[in-house]
Structure 1
Amino acid sequence: MRFATLLLILGILQAHAVDVYSQKTRLSLNFSNTELITVLDKIEEESEFYFVFNEKLLDTDRKVDIITNNQLINTILDDLFIGTEVKYTIIDRKIILAPEFKPEIPDVVHPQQLSISGTVTDAESGEALPGVNVVVKGSTIGILTDINGRFTLAVPDQQSVLVFSFIGYTTQEVPIAKQKVLNIRLAQSIESLAEVMVIGYGTQKKAEITSSVVKITEKDFNQVPAANPMQLVEGRVVGLVINRPGGADPNGEVTIQLRGVSSLKGNNQPLIIIDGIPGNMNTLNAIAPEDIEAMDVLRDGSAAAIYGTRGNNGVVIVTTKQARARERTELDYSGYVSYDMIAKKPNILTAEEYVQYAEDTSNPIIKDYGGRDDVYDALLNKNNFSQNHSLSASGGSTKSNYRASIGYHNNEGLAITSKREQITARLSVNQNIINDKVLLNFNIATSSNNGSAFASYSPFYQAIKRNPTYPIFNADGTYYEDYATYGEENPVASLRQRDRWYERKNLLGSVKATWKITNGLNASAFTALDKNDNYSTDYRSKNSYNAVTSGNGGTASKSFNRDFNKIFESTIDYSNTFNHQHNLNALVGYSYQDFINEGFSATNYGFLTDAFKTDNLGTGSWLKEGKADMQSSKSKNTLIAFFGRVNYNYLGKYMLSVSMRHEGSSKFGSNYKWGWFPALSAGWTISEESFMADIDAIDMIKLRVGYGITGALPNDSYMSLIKIGAVNRGYYFDGRWYSNAYGPSNNPNPDLRWEKNESLNFGIDFGFFKNRISGNIDVYQKRTVDLIGQYQAQVPSMIHSTIWTNVGTIMNRGIEVALNGLIVNKSNIKYDTKLTFSYETNKLESMSNDVFKGTFEDRYGFPSPGNIGYAQRLEEGQPIGSFYGYVYEGLTDDGKWILKDLDGIPGYSDNDKTYIGTGIPKIKASLMNNFSYKKWDFGFLLKGMFMYDILNTGRVYFGTTTNIDKSAYNVYKEALDVKLTEDPRFSDYFLEKGDFLKIENVTLGYTFQFPGSNYIRSLRLSAYCSNLAVLTGYSGIDPEVRITGLEPGIDRRESYPRTRTLSFRVNCSF
């Protein structure tokens, strides 16, 4: 029995696997009377190999002597373990060490024994697994798979159960029944403590992490046709909110937010680092999702403080696929085609229903113009097939290797005139020089992104509010327009008669040199550039509604904007293990970043022909009259930093991490150019203590605590300085503009500094029942002080009435839970799930100090028509995203509002308004489920948000005296038998509970494997559907509205349609 148990736990191996990396990697070692563990650590540092072993069964304190010069790993291992019972197996870069297994021979041979054979492979790659333990459960009968993963074993009877175990993989139990041949696919363990996580300027083993860091690798990405890379991790990182306010618009922005709002005037999105280069969402959008290998999310201040004034909102570190040695050139292709269908069409009265409504309400305003077209449907592109293709090649030796990829993406868009096309190319090269002491890494990537984009989503608003009896075309084929009625623009004409085009070009390049100075001591130098060029043109026809009603004629404009980011960084890191107990890693570094932005735009009016569009701006009449608009700008800022970090752990049980960054920025005032950003975190792996040793159900429990200070930069490069501008402007006698003087256009503030975030995080990581259940829980508090805002200034002594300064505090608190479960793990059937849950609250604690007084700030002013006011208010002591308005109590018999009187004074005033809801969900949750049966796989993602309100602006604008929204029409019809006679007043009547549970996506796939083939490695076919169904009480189009930023929870009247996407995908490896 003891030998069978040994097999299950350790994965004892004795075969020598053949691997190209091991055949080409050569190492030089020189150790005398040195502990074995020190030599193994050195091998890991000098190569990509890593060891897996059980310290209880491997004598790591054994003293060894070894001197090698440019030897293969097999030769080194043979020398290290000669004369011992330790055997090793090399699989790719994993080296597994264990004592030799010698199974006991049964005393009695049963004549009814059955012969069972089969093959064991990796469930993901399909590669054979040599050295896997195959044991008859409850006996000492067992064997190891050979170098090809094959085995043959005599079992007592058909009731026997075989147990397959291997280090780093999840154990499987398979009943024999009537089977004679078994093909077993072992899955890697859900939680691997050997996993390496990127923590900023370095890496660290997951088992040693003391901060709140989440890593999502390619195998865990959402299997979706992602147009934006952030869709790969949607629902997989607790606390990270990913929003698409533009719905399915192929050119719509994607907003992300981590652990709540931290700034009132600055950026609230996390810092994005791409292969060491600080960027933003535009930079990330230029990368093909197929080129991304992993994303590491630094959620708390102790992890993000190493980035100083850019770490206030957390950090997302994106690692792209890099060059690696290959035995031969490997090709990988991924492609899909998709089609968008409108998920939910607005519930609009048809022309016939609208006419009947006019008769029912005796509404004299409503007229029948004779048209019966479905104008909303006319805005939709029925042939919106989209496609994506990605091809990569990788190869080379350990001395020099490469990876190159190209990609093409085309999205036609659900709406007419909206489309996006993107071409990407990327090259990564590694070159070892100077006897492999120096590694050079080259990365260059470029992308071209162009398309036709919306200026706004108002055509969809017009299509809903427009009198449905308006025809789209006149009898002569021209567009029908009602110029006599304000705002009644033909939505189809507004799109067809406006030509908006853009092109974005991105160039991202870097060079890194890493010098292995001596044992454990490395130095590196890194330089990079990030250039983004944005071109756009916009032409509105002389026949358009706007041109006719304004009298301006055709309108043309061109603009250009460039962001140019240059970076240089250097680091020195040292790592060592002392006395086999004390593990130390230290890092010091320097960072320099220079950022330049420049732009130009020109607009002219009065074009008498549409023939030139934007190709001849000078022909517009406004240039001759001196009224054409022309602007240019340029800004520059510089950031310099010195940083350091020390990570220490004792016996892998007690961990401590300390970091410090000293950073200066040209954006700050002269009195606060430099700031300090410290961090401290600690961890205790309590499961390694002796008093936990006998608890078999517990695999790992680690406690973490971290504290860190981060910052946030002002958006404007010159906010603290005096800016010079025209101080007077008037008309000269000939009607031309002139400026007679230049002077200060703002008040400077030499004390302007960074917004400071103080973050405290408590966490626990756990694994139970052989990691069948694992996860983590984090509790955090983020307090942001010295908020940057614009306040009233004293005149005199100051010139202008406002000044930018640091005042105010925001508090965010929350709890985050991630739970992984391997529910079923049989030979041919597997089911694993991941549940994420978060609860968060926020409060604007203050907007004032002793000098500057702030009261409140109203947000989201309702657009015309009407004078409704504002929907939300920022005020001390209230949550961000709070709705502020009247309390609805009913309607009078003559169709007027009854609102709660809070001040006791007849009539309605601002004193009768109060806080009536919040637009930020307190609870967010997701549930990922993955099933596999043999070569089939099926997965789906559920996500939900709860405890928040949505402002349904459709009910505000489409449920009035010209109502055409059916839901609003029915509400009014039930409330009274007469029409509403008063314009809306904002109250909680227009708020609805936003709680929802949605089937976000569903994927079904089949994988073909070709073991032994010299041409094709694997082929996977899959189908995907998104936004399949939603369970909600919300009456609007979609409850998943924008919840990031300062105006969350508003379902705007202008919105691009939400879609349901059907996609078919092919992945093939050669």
Structure 2
Amino acid sequence: MKKKLQFFWAEWIPKYRVAFVWLAILISTCKPAEAHLSSSFYWQQEQLRITGKVTDQAGVTLTGISIKVKGQNTGAVTDDKGNYAIIVNNVSAVFIFSYLGFTTQEVAIGDRRIVNVQMIAAPNSLNEVAVIGYGTQKRERVTSAVATVKAENFAKGAVTDAGQLLRGKVAGLSVVTPDGNPTGVSQINLRGITTIVSGREPLVLIDNVPGTLTTVAPEDIESIDVLKDGSAAAIYGTRGTNGVILITTKKVNGETPPTLEINSYFTTQRITRKLDFMSPSQYRDLVSMKKIGAFDYGASTDWLKEVTQTPFSQVYNASLKGGSNKTNYIANFNYRRQEGLIRKSNNNIMYPRLEVNHQMFDGKLKFNVNLNGYQQEYFSGADGSAFRTDVYRNALTYNPTDPIRDAQGNFTEHTDKTDYANPVSLLEETDGLIQNSNFRTIGTVTYSPINDLKVMLLGSRDLFNSTRGYYETKQHLSTRRDRRNGYASRGTTRSVEDLAELTATYSKGFNDHDFTALGGYSWRQTNYQDYFMQNWDFPADDFSYNNMGAGLALERGEAQQNSYQRENKLVGYFFRLNYSFKNRYLLMASVRREGSSKFGTNYKYGSFPAVSLGWNLIRESFLRDSKVVSALKIRGGYGITGTEPSEPYMSLDRLNFNTQILINGQWIQAINPSTNANPNLRWERKQETNLGVDFGFLNNRITGAIDLYKRTTKDLLLDYTVPTPPYLYNTIRANAASMENKGIEVQLNFRAIERTNFSWNTTINYSTNRNKLVSLSDENFQLASGYFDAGDTGEPIQQRISRVQIGQPIGNFWGFKSLDIDQNGYWIIEGKDGKPKPIAQQQADDKQVIGNGLPKHFLNWNHSFAYKNFDLNIIMRGAFGFQILNTSRMFYEAPVMLTRGNVLSTAYDNVYGKRPLADNQSLNYVSYYIENGDYWKIDNITFGYNLKLKNTPVKSMRLYLSGSNIATITKYKGIDPEVSMAGLTPGLDNRNRYPATSTYTIGAMLNF
């Protein structure tokens, strides 16, 4: 009898368990008298013990992995060998495996009693896959400086472009948002300034095709990879000097049920800081003191209030994806309706994208079609631009006692004053619209004749069209002051970029060796067309800018019209080899041979080699079983990249047909040279060495990387003065200068707290850069002075701002060092001999370096908290060791500017603790207005709540609140210390800037 029972339990129960389950369910639904029996039977049959082991992708057991039974409080944690055991009461139970640093997985146990799980590394883990040029690579095998940021780690809240997603996320990559203009784009600088007159932006590739930070909607981005050093970027040749940003849009892989994701948020803004200009009552005090230039017109007007608004912006993103193993798709639509702080400033964009994948012949042949682009429309406040710079400035400086309109209903104007206009009139008496459209078609065909070989053909066309219109009415200041009697302009731009690339990748592994070889060819052609025309003296305002021929100025030969077209080609051949021995010793070597039609006859082609090595010490026997060190890799790389000239045809003789000569009373068109030919014009060549270490401790609870780099850029382009003859023109653009950048980058990631219901993850990254101009000359072209000056203060000061000088960094402010003021309120400056002297005795050689606008140090500190269904993300960042030229103070803290309108309330404060400046002390560019720019920002706080919805079409929902640019700790007195870093005058706080803003967002994300 005992043996029969044993046979029953051992053989019949497992074999017919489904029948027994249904029988138990049936019994449980019977009458109450049988309830006790059915409950006991069900418990005996369905209480199951599930065991298993949890490992990572490399097969390493993981300790402390949290396992929960979905919908229950039952759970377990893996032991030091990665094992776990859980008792469940239902074969339909679903386990949730989670651990900070790994992707959460839901696993149904089904009929299994042993459930082993392999955890997939989450973003910022050393084991993730990084996107590199023309392919991907396991993070463990990366030997160059490559940073990866996934969507879940992007900066949260309202963002306007892809660059803002990276704020504070990547060491060495500074992302600056210098103002709140809704059409503005982030300024990105990677490892310092490497050029003088060429482009400074990194190469941006969206799904392997060149684009910009605004080409794709931020909500449609899956990940961003940054190739920071020369060994990583050299595969892109002449486009890689400023680094490479690889943007990957959201994808669908394999069989996917139809899924709809909706993300919508609403945003408002406020000005970060209002500059303290004289109020009407304060201004009237100046009138009562009979200050020169102060007039009381009887009104009290808050001009800043009149030109600003409380903006309300809205963003909607819908993503639909699905498909089978052979054919799948993703369709994304993004609509953005953005309003700016200044009235009429706006930005309306639609981003459609459709991507379809299909494979056949057992996956050997794959097709991908990607159609995307955008349509954009925004108000044009000036010729060809979105924001009229003098609106904000005049809102600050217009007389606060002036009424908006006079007794006759006309806008008040004072045409006798220079650079002074009614800001409300500037807005109301203008009409303008800019309409942009971008259509990108991308297609790839991938064929794998054998398992280890992949051949891919990529073709794309990027088509951009822009139409611009602008009109100033007959009531505009331009009519009253300049007698234009209605002014209009129109313009159109069209650009086409065609790209074709053929690549072949062969991967092979045998024994302890792994090889991946890449070879390819790239062809790119760019065509750009533009026309512009203007006219004025119109009979009426009715047609705005839509009847250009009605104006009389063009007929009289006073207005201009012009058109332009240019074209250039770029071809490249490239090869790369990756080798790994036991995942221990790593090698990457590449070379690109590239030619450009922009180069001179003697230098049509250039070669860009790179090599990098890595040593995974964690694979060595002396560290393999370490309980402390969980990852350790040393790497080093060297690479050469280049920069193309910004314009084509610069190597050729070009003629100018725009000169008119008066001969015998008639104007005759003349032809004269406009540029000199330079057959030696070539690429700017950057050589970069990078040494780095990647590390992880305590089972990767602490991870990070440290990089040291030195980059030397030679053959920098600059315009040189040359004699005529032998040259036909007095300047030539040539390669002769050189520059050096070196620095350190540190990235640290901490999984600080990991509990069942609470986690805290924090990251810190720090970078420093030192820039130096090494030379401005070579054996053929010299700049005898060893320097040149850049930037301009504007009238009435009319002085250069910065000096670019051999042996000095870019960004040096060059002006008079102020020491004091005399008893009459006039500046005392330091002379070239180091002794004080009155400003009236100034000489040009008294000027000196009075600051530098490039930050020497960047620090970012990010936090991510999670408690049950709540999450909190905080981004803090700062820049240190730089100065800012506060032009608002330089112009409007001087009493003399009262003759041109309003002034700052500090204009009559004591200077150097003595007395105010003299009423007739002219404006001067002195060090008194150079301020310490150091700042620390609480840049973003986002609070979210995630909830599961039952019995509804909505699978999950996330609600969140977010604030950006919330608070700034700084001693800087301007509106915001985060100012432009562009060009040769970084650190310049332009008084005409669009005001900086703080942004507040409420949003929801829904999954169907």
**TM-score, scaled relative to structure 1:** 0.83
> Does residue 1066 of the first structure (1) align with residue 1000 of the second (2)?
no
Do 1:1023 and 1:1065's aligned partners in 2 also have CA atoms closer than 8 Å?
yes
- More divergent stretch after superposition (231-240 vs 312-321): 231-240
CA distance in 2, matches of 1:1031, 1:707: 39
State the 1:169 CA deviation.
6.2
CA distance in 2, matches of 1:619, 1:632: 20
* Structure-2 residue corresponding to 1:930: 864
> Does residue 945 of the first structure (1) align with residue 874 of the second (2)?
no
CA distance in 1, matches of 2:980, 2:95: 56
Q: Secondary structure of 2:480's match?
A: helix
CA spacing shift, 1:749–1:95, aligned 2, 3 Å:
closer
What letter matches 2:632 in structure 1? I
> Does residue 274 of the first structure (1) align with residue 206 of the second (2)?
yes
The 5 A counterparts of 1:746-757 are 746-757=675-686
| Identical-pair percentage | 34
> Does residue 636 of the first structure (1) align with residue 567 of the second (2)?
yes
**1:2-57 residue CA offsets vs partner (Å, 9 max, x unmatched):** xxxxxxxxxxxxxxxxxxxxxxxxxxxxxxxxxxxxxxxxxxxxxxxxxxxxxxxx
* Structure-2 residue corresponding to 1:982: 921
* Structure-2 residue corresponding to 1:874: 804
Q: Figure out how many residues of one structure are paired with residues of the other and give that number.
A: 927
CA distance in 2, matches of 1:166, 1:233: 21
The 5 A counterparts of 1:289-438 are 289-360=218-289, 362-382=290-310, 384-438=311-365
> Does residue 474 of the first structure (1) align with residue 406 of the second (2)?
yes
Do 1:521 and 1:574's aligned partners in 2 also have CA atoms closer than 8 Å?
yes
Q: Secondary structure of 2:411's match?
A: coil
CA distance in 2, matches of 1:629, 1:1056: 29
Q: Secondary structure of 2:231's match?
A: helix
> Does residue 851 of the first structure (1) align with residue 800 of the second (2)?
no
* Structure-1 residue corresponding to 2:820: 890
State the 1:895 CA deviation.
1.6
CA spacing shift, 1:710–1:699, aligned 2, 3 Å:
same
- Name the Cα RMSD after superposition: 2.9
* Structure-1 residue corresponding to 2:594: 663
The 5 A counterparts of 1:650-799 are 650-726=581-657, 728-731=659-662, 738-739=668-669, 741-799=670-728
State the 1:477 CA deviation.
2.5
CA spacing shift, 1:924–1:136, aligned 2, 3 Å:
closer
> Does residue 236 of the first structure (1) align with residue 192 of the second (2)?
no
> Does residue 606 of the first structure (1) align with residue 547 of the second (2)?
no
Task: Find the partner of 1:1024 among 953, 959, 962.
Answer: 962
State the 1:368 CA deviation.
1.3
- More divergent stretch after superposition (138-147 vs 771-780): 138-147
What letter matches 1:794 in structure 2? P
CA spacing shift, 1:165–1:988, aligned 2, 3 Å:
closer
Do 2:825 and 2:916's aligned partners in 1 also have CA atoms closer than 8 Å?
no
Do 1:1005 and 1:1020's aligned partners in 2 also have CA atoms closer than 8 Å?
yes
**1:408-428 residue CA offsets vs partner (Å, 9 max, x unmatched):** 100121111111101111000
CA spacing shift, 1:792–1:649, aligned 2, 3 Å:
same
What letter matches 1:895 in structure 2? G
CA distance in 1, matches of 2:194, 2:743: 14
**1:703-751 residue CA offsets vs partner (Å, 9 max, x unmatched):** 110000000000111100112222741357887x641x43532110001
CA spacing shift, 1:541–1:144, aligned 2, 3 Å:
farther
The 5 A counterparts of 1:176-191 are 191=124
Do 1:295 and 1:316's aligned partners in 2 also have CA atoms closer than 8 Å?
yes
The 5 A counterparts of 1:205-244 are 205-244=138-177
CA distance in 2, matches of 1:700, 1:188: 14
What letter matches 2:446 in structure 1? T
State the 1:776 CA deviation.
0.5
What letter matches 1:1033 in structure 2? K
* Structure-2 residue corresponding to 1:966: 905
CA distance in 2, matches of 1:973, 1:359: 26
State the 1:446 CA deviation.
2.4
* Structure-1 residue corresponding to 2:68: 119
CA spacing shift, 1:148–1:929, aligned 2, 3 Å:
farther
Q: Secondary structure of 2:443's match?
A: strand
What letter matches 1:682 in structure 2? L
Ranges in structure 1 where 5+ consecutive residues have no aligned partner: 1-86, 102-116, 153-162, 172-185
What letter matches 2:800 in structure 1? Y
* Structure-2 residue corresponding to 1:64: none
Do 2:870 and 2:946's aligned partners in 1 also have CA atoms closer than 8 Å?
yes
> Does residue 908 of the first structure (1) align with residue 847 of the second (2)?
no
State the 1:371 CA deviation.
2.1
CA spacing shift, 1:368–1:190, aligned 2, 3 Å:
same
State the 1:167 CA deviation.
10
> Does residue 627 of the first structure (1) align with residue 574 of the second (2)?
no
CA spacing shift, 1:140–1:411, aligned 2, 3 Å:
closer
State the 1:251 CA deviation.
1.4
State the 1:147 CA deviation.
7.8
State the 1:187 CA deviation.
10
State the 1:566 CA deviation.
0.2
CA spacing shift, 1:428–1:357, aligned 2, 3 Å:
same
State the 1:299 CA deviation.
0.3
Do 1:88 and 1:97's aligned partners in 2 also have CA atoms closer than 8 Å?
no
CA distance in 2, matches of 1:790, 1:957: 32
CA distance in 1, matches of 2:258, 2:954: 12
**1:877-916 residue CA offsets vs partner (Å, 9 max, x unmatched):** 1110001111111111112110012248972101111111
What letter matches 1:375 in structure 2? W
CA distance in 1, matches of 2:607, 2:82: 62
CA distance in 2, matches of 1:974, 1:217: 53
> Does residue 498 of the first structure (1) align with residue 430 of the second (2)?
yes
- More divergent stretch after superposition (1039-1048 vs 1018-1027): 1039-1048
Do 1:868 and 1:984's aligned partners in 2 also have CA atoms closer than 8 Å?
no
State the 1:641 CA deviation.
0.5
CA spacing shift, 1:170–1:1020, aligned 2, 3 Å:
closer
Q: Secondary structure of 1:215's match?
A: strand
The 5 A counterparts of 1:498-647 are 498-579=430-511, 581-647=512-578
CA distance in 2, matches of 1:548, 1:734: 33
State the 1:364 CA deviation.
2.7
CA distance in 2, matches of 1:882, 1:144: 70
Do 1:135 and 1:143's aligned partners in 2 also have CA atoms closer than 8 Å?
no
CA distance in 2, matches of 1:824, 1:234: 24
> Does residue 450 of the first structure (1) align with residue 377 of the second (2)?
yes
Do 2:694 and 2:705's aligned partners in 1 also have CA atoms closer than 8 Å?
yes
CA spacing shift, 1:567–1:88, aligned 2, 3 Å:
farther
State the 1:166 CA deviation.
10
Q: Secondary structure of 1:626's match?
A: coil
**1:271-298 residue CA offsets vs partner (Å, 9 max, x unmatched):** 001111122x3xx313111111111100
Do 1:134 and 1:143's aligned partners in 2 also have CA atoms closer than 8 Å?
no
Q: Secondary structure of 1:788's match?
A: strand
Q: Secondary structure of 2:537's match?
A: strand
What letter matches 2:338 in structure 1? N
State the 1:476 CA deviation.
3.0
Do 2:826 and 2:918's aligned partners in 1 also have CA atoms closer than 8 Å?
no
Q: Secondary structure of 1:305's match?
A: helix
CA distance in 1, matches of 2:541, 2:626: 80
State the 1:141 CA deviation.
7.9
Q: Secondary structure of 1:969's match?
A: coil
* Structure-1 residue corresponding to 2:940: 1001
CA distance in 2, matches of 1:904, 1:1067: 64
CA distance in 1, matches of 2:562, 2:292: 48
Do 2:121 and 2:128's aligned partners in 1 also have CA atoms closer than 8 Å?
no
CA distance in 2, matches of 1:808, 1:144: 73
What letter matches 1:889 in structure 2? L
State the 1:775 CA deviation.
0.7
**1:483-513 residue CA offsets vs partner (Å, 9 max, x unmatched):** 2223321011011111221011001111101
State the 1:266 CA deviation.
0.4
CA spacing shift, 1:689–1:894, aligned 2, 3 Å:
same
